C-alpha cells in the first residue's frame, strides 16, 4: 500500500488545499464561532430571564438543535434555505444561497445551542452578589450584564468556548456532504481526480490533527493561567 506512496501528489495539491480548502474551513469556523457565541449568549440570557415565555422558547430551541444530527441539519438548511428565502422575500424562484452562506447559517444556528449552554453555565458561575452589587451601584439589567456578568462569564468559560470551537473546526468537515471544497472536500477532490486516496486522506488527517492538537494545547495553557487568576 505504501510502496508507491508519492509525496509529489501532496506537494502539487498543496496550494489548492491551503488557499481553497483550509481558508474555507478556517473562515467558516471563525465566523460560525463568532455568530454562535453572540446568538448563544442571547439564548442563555433568554433562558435565565424571569420574563414569561423567553426561557421556554430558548430551551425549546436548544433542545431541538441538540437532538438533531448535524448532517441532517446541514442537508436540511442547504435545500430549504432557498425556499425559505423565496417565501420571506415573496420572489418567484427559490433564491440562490451560496454553499458558504448556507453552511455558515447552519453552523451558526447549530453551534449557538451548544454555546448557549456554555454561556448559561458561565453566567450562573458568577455569584449573585455581583449582580446585586451592580444594581446597587445604579446600573440597569443591560449594563450589569454587559459590564459585570458577561465579561466574567466569558473569562471563566474561555477554555470551554475554545474547546467547543475546536470541535466546531472538526465538524465543519461535514460540509463534505454538500460537495463543498473545504479542507477535507478539497483533499477528496484531488484524491479522486488523481486516484491518490491514501496520500490525500492521510494528508487531510494530518492537517486536522496538527491544527486541533496545537489549538487544544494552547487552550490547556490558557486554562492554567485563568485558574491562577481566580
Which residues of this protein are in contact with another protein, per CB under 8 A?
Answer: 127, 129-130, 132-140, 143, 147-148, 151-152, 155, 229-230
- Shortest separation between residue 37's beta carbon and another protein, angstroms: 18
Cell of 79: 435545500
Residue number, 140 or 217, with CB nearest to another protein: 140
28 half-sphere exposure, CB direction, 13 A CA radius: 31
Distance CA 44, CA 90 (A): 33
- Shortest separation between residue 127's beta carbon and another protein, angstroms: 7
Residue number, 93 or 128, with CB nearest to another protein: 128
- Shortest separation between residue 146's beta carbon and another protein, angstroms: 11
Distance CA 176, CA 184 (A): 7
- Shortest separation between residue 65's beta carbon and another protein, angstroms: 30
CB contact set of 215 (below 8 Å; sequence gap of 6+): 162, 165, 166, 169
Residue number, 109 or 131, with CB nearest to another protein: 131
- Shortest separation between residue 131's beta carbon and another protein, angstroms: 9
Residue number, 149 or 180, with CB nearest to another protein: 149
Dihedral of CA 167/67/72/87: which sign? Answer: negative
Residue number, 17 or 119, with CB nearest to another protein: 119
Distance CA 217, CA 159 (A): 11
Residue 188 and residue 176 in contact, taking contact as beta carbons nearer than 8 Å: yes
Amino acid at each position: 500500500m505504501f510502496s508507491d506512496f508519492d509525496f509529489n501528489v501532496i506537494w502539487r495539491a498543496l496550494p489548492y488545499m491551503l488557499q481553497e480548502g483550509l481558508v474555507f474551513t478556517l473562515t467558516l469556523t471563525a465566523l460560525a464561532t463568532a455568530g454562535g457565541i453572540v446568538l448563544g449568549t442571547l439564548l442563555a440570557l433568554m433562558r435565565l430571564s424571569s420574563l414569561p415565555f423567553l426561557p421556554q422558547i430558548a430551551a425549546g430551541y436548544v433542545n431541538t438543535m441538540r437532538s438533531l444530527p448535524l448532517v441532517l441539519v446541514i442537508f436540511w438548511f442547504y435545500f430549504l434555505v432557498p425556499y425559505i428565502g423565496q417565501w420571506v422575500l415573496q420572489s418567484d424562484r427559490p433564491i440562490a444561497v451560496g454553499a458558504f452562506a448556507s453552511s455558515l447559517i447552519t453552523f451558526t444556528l447549530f453551534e449557538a445551542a451548544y454555546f448557549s449552554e456554555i454561556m448559561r453555565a458561565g453566567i450562573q458561575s458568577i455569584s449573585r452578589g455581583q449582580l446585586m452589587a451592580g444594581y446597587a451601584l445604579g446600573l440597569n439589567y443591560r449594563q450589569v450584564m454587559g459590564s459585570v456578568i458577561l465579561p466574567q462569564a466569558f473569562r471563566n468559560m474561555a477554555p470551554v468556548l475554545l474547546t467547543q470551537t475546536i470541535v466546531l473546526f472538526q465538524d465543519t468537515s461535514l460540509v463534505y456532504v454538500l460537495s463543498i471544497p473545504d479542507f477535507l472536500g478539497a483533499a477528496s477532490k484531488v484524491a479522486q481526480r488523481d486516484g491518490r486516496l491514501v496520500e490525500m486522506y492521510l494528508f487531510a488527517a494530518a492537517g486536522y490533527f496538527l491544527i486541533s492538537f496545537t489549538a487544544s494545547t494552547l487552550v490547556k495553557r490558557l486554562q492554567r493561567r485563568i485558574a491562577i487568576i481566580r
